[in-house]
Amino acid sequence: MSVKKVILISLLALILVGGLAAGYVASKLYSSYHGESVRIYIPAGSSEQDFRDSLFVKLGNDFANDVYFSWRLQRSNVKKAHGSYVIKPGENALSVSRSFRAGRQTPIKITFNNIRTLDALAERVAEKMEWGSDDFLAACDSILPPKGFKKQHYIAAFLPDTYEFFWTASPQQVVKRLSDVRDNFWNDERRVQASAMGLTPVGVATLASIVEEETTKSDERPKVARLYLNRLNRGMLLQADPTVKFALGDFGLRRIYNAHLNVDSPYNTYKYKGLPPGPIRLPERKTLEAVLSAPNHNYIYMCAKEDFSGYHNFASDLSTHNQNAARYHRALSQRNIR
């Protein structure tokens, strides 16, 4: 065989091998993920083995192998992969590995509502993040006082909603962002409205928290808000049952007895005039607005309706209120509710 033929055959062999290698690499890089959407977490300080194990646990052997192969091919640093990523059906290994390589995380959604205490809020937020609830509370201590919040007011620094953060966001970044949203809500117009009522933004949040505990009916909340404003303006005790439940730490109480009213707490509005020291829950935006837009009326008493519809009977005099209350308590007794 001539030298030329040997060279030609060798070149063809090299081209064939190169083509096969290129095809193999391409098959690895562009293989598609066929599972369900999955979120992968790469904690800070993860080793390359930790990273690889996370891929195999979440993606299955074949696609995990392809992603890891692509990631190694790009000589990526595992430190840059620190974060949380959602892998969706149809994504190829190359695009997934590039996300890890660039630290291109998928945001985490945090939704919170129906929260009564700061501890509960801290737990709700922290369960979605890399850190714990104590870190959230510590961030509150460092960020909120300079904004003018006292400890008992911290819960008023936030607004229930759905927020997006990167899993790697620090507790300080989260608290600042959440409190900034609340600050933006309290624009000049709303502050003027609150001031005209003799309230601060925290005072509005405190009253709104009581209103929200008193009624689940959003269309009734402005009316309830005005009732309590009437009491405040007359120098009356608010006598709001939810504040007693908060003082006792028992929101499951269905009936409030005299023994409950004796609890010595600044949150017991049967003992102490004015608003309690701070909100008894995290009120929604709509409830804050219900307080600010409360319509004028003369009611100073309210009692749950005896039909258990969730609405209330209102009265401007004690005699009518006592009649309403008697009907409601009879209904409770008939249902054996204690």
What is the per-residue DSSP string for 95-133?
HHHHHHHHT-PPPEEEEE-S--SHHHHHHHHHTTSSS-H
Tens of pLDDT, residue by residue over 44-93, are 999 999 999 999 999 988 888 889 988 888 878 899 999 999 999 999 98
Q: Per-residue confidence at 5, pLDDT binned at 50, 70, 90? A: low
Beta-bridge mates of residue 314: 302
Q: Token pair for residue 247? A: 């003082």
pLDDT score at 75 = 79
The number of distinct structural domains making up the chain is: 4
Q: Token pair for residue 15? A: 């081209």
**Longest Cα–Cα distance in the chain:** 120
pLDDT score at 27 = 59
Regarding whether 272 and 194 lie in a shared domain, the answer is yes
**Geometric angle at alpha carbon 266, from 135 and 142, rounded to 5°:** 20
CA atoms within 13 A on the CB side of 257: 4
Q: Is residue 1's pLDDT more than 90?
A: no
Mean pLDDT, to the nearest integer, of 304-324? 93
Q: Token pair for residue 98? A: 């590039």
Tell me, yes or no, whether 5 lies in a domain: no
Regarding whether 271 and 212 lie in a shared domain, the answer is yes
Regarding whether 138 and 68 lie in a shared domain, the answer is no
Q: Per-residue confidence at 187, pLDDT binned at 50, 70, 90? A: very high
pLDDT score at 16 = 42
Regarding whether 78 and 34 lie in a shared domain, the answer is yes
User: pTM for this one?
Assistant: 0.86
Regarding whether 211 and 141 lie in a shared domain, the answer is no
Regarding whether 205 and 272 lie in a shared domain, the answer is yes
pLDDT score at 179 = 97
Regarding whether 216 and 167 lie in a shared domain, the answer is no
Coil, strand or helix at 281: coil
Determine the Cα–Cα distance for residues 227 and 237; give it in Å rounded to an integer.
12
Tens of pLDDT, residue by residue over 148-157, are 999 999 999 9
Q: Is residue 199's pLDDT more than 60?
A: yes
Nearest in space to 156 (alpha carbons), one of 117, 107, 193: 117
pLDDT score at 228 = 97
Regarding whether 312 and 254 lie in a shared domain, the answer is no
Regarding whether 276 and 234 lie in a shared domain, the answer is yes
Backbone dihedral angles phi then psi of residue 144, each to the nearest 5 degrees: -80, -40
Tell me, yes or no, whether 18 lies in a domain: no
Amino acid symbol at 2: S
With 0-12 / 13-18 / 19 or more C-beta atoms within 10 angstroms meaning exposed / middle / buried, residue 190 is middle
Give whole-number Cα distances, 207 to 69, 106, 211, 310, in Å. Answer: 59, 38, 6, 19
Mean pLDDT, to the nearest integer, of 188-204? 97
Regarding whether 304 and 281 lie in a shared domain, the answer is no
The domain in which residue 202 lies consists of 188-295
Q: Average per-residue pLDDT in the chain?
A: 90
Determine the Cα–Cα distance for residues 201 and 191; give it in Å rounded to an integer.
7
Regarding whether 303 and 291 lie in a shared domain, the answer is no
Regarding whether 129 and 44 lie in a shared domain, the answer is no
Determine the Cα–Cα distance for residues 189 and 193; give it in Å rounded to an integer.
6
Question: Domain containing 52 — which CATH number?
Answer: 3.30.1490
Q: Per-residue confidence at 2, pLDDT binned at 50, 70, 90? A: low
Q: Per-residue confidence at 181, pLDDT binned at 50, 70, 90? A: very high
Percent of the chain with pLDDT over 90: 74
Tell me, yes or no, whether 12 lies in a domain: no
Determine the Cα–Cα distance for residues 96 and 105; give it in Å rounded to an integer.
11
CB 147 within 8 A of CB 179: yes
CB 89 within 8 A of CB 36: yes
Mean pLDDT, to the nearest integer, of 215-237? 96
Tell me which H or E stretch contains 25.
helix 3-29
Question: Domain containing 322 — which CATH number?
Answer: 3.30.160.60
Q: Token pair for residue 20? A: 């096969």
- Helices of type H across 197-257: 201-214, 221-234, 241-248
- Which residues are CB-neighbours of 15 under 8 A, at least 6 positions away? none
pLDDT score at 137 = 98
